[in-house]
Amino acid sequence: MEFLANVVTADVLYEKLLSSLKVITTGILTNLESLLFDINVLNHFFSISLDDILGGGLYSGEVNEIFGSPGVGKTQSCLSVACHVAGTLFKNVVYIDTGAGFSSKRIHEVLTEKCVDNSTMNYVNPMTRIQCVKTFEIFHALFVLEELKKCLSSEEDAFYEDVVLVVFDSVASIVSPILGGPKSQGHGHGMMVRLGRALKSLAYDYNVAVLFTNNVVSDSNSSYTKPALGISWSHMPNTRIFLHQSEQNPPQKFMKITKSVRMPLQDSVPISINESGLH
- The predicted pLDDT at position 186 comes to 73
Domain coordinates of the chain in residue numbers? 1-39, 40-278
Specify whether the CB–CB gap between 243 and 68 falls below 8 A: yes
pTM across the whole model: 0.86
Model pLDDT, residue 117: 52
* Cα–chain center distance at 236: 13
The span from the CA of 178 to the CA of 139, in Å, is 11
Cis preceding linkage at 49, omega within 30: no
Q: Where are the alpha helices (DSSP H) in the chain?
A: 10-20, 39-44, 50-54, 74-87, 104-114, 138-153, 158-161, 171-179, 185-206, 230-234
Pick the CATH number of 40-278 from 3.40.50.720, 3.40.50.300, 3.90.170.10, 3.40.50.11740: 3.40.50.300
**Under DSSP, is residue 262 helix (H, G, I), strand (E, B) or coil?**
coil
- Run means of pLDDT, 10 residues per run, the chain, 279 residues: 70 73 86 40 55 94 96 95 95 96 94 66 77 96 97 92 96 90 71 96 96 91 84 95 87 92 85 80
Cα angle: 231, vertex 236, 238; to 5 degrees: 120
Confidence (pLDDT) at 248: 78
8 A C-beta contact, residue 129 and residue 118: no
- How many angstroms separate the most distant Cα atoms in the chain? 67
Report phi then psi at 148, rounded to 5.
-65, -40
- Please state, in angstroms and rounded to a whole number, the distance separating the CA atoms of residues 83 and 98: 19
Predicted pLDDT at 12 = 79
- pLDDT computed for residue 236 by the predictor: 96
Q: Rounded to the nearest 10 degrees, what angle do helices 185-206 and 138-153 cross at?
A: 20
pLDDT of residue 45: 44
How far apart are alpha carbons 83 and 125 in whole angstroms? 11
Task: Please tell me whether residue 75 adopts helix, strand or coil conformation.
Answer: helix
CB-CB contact of 169 with 133 (8 Å): no
Cα 256 to Cα 269: distance, rounded to the nearest angstrom: 7
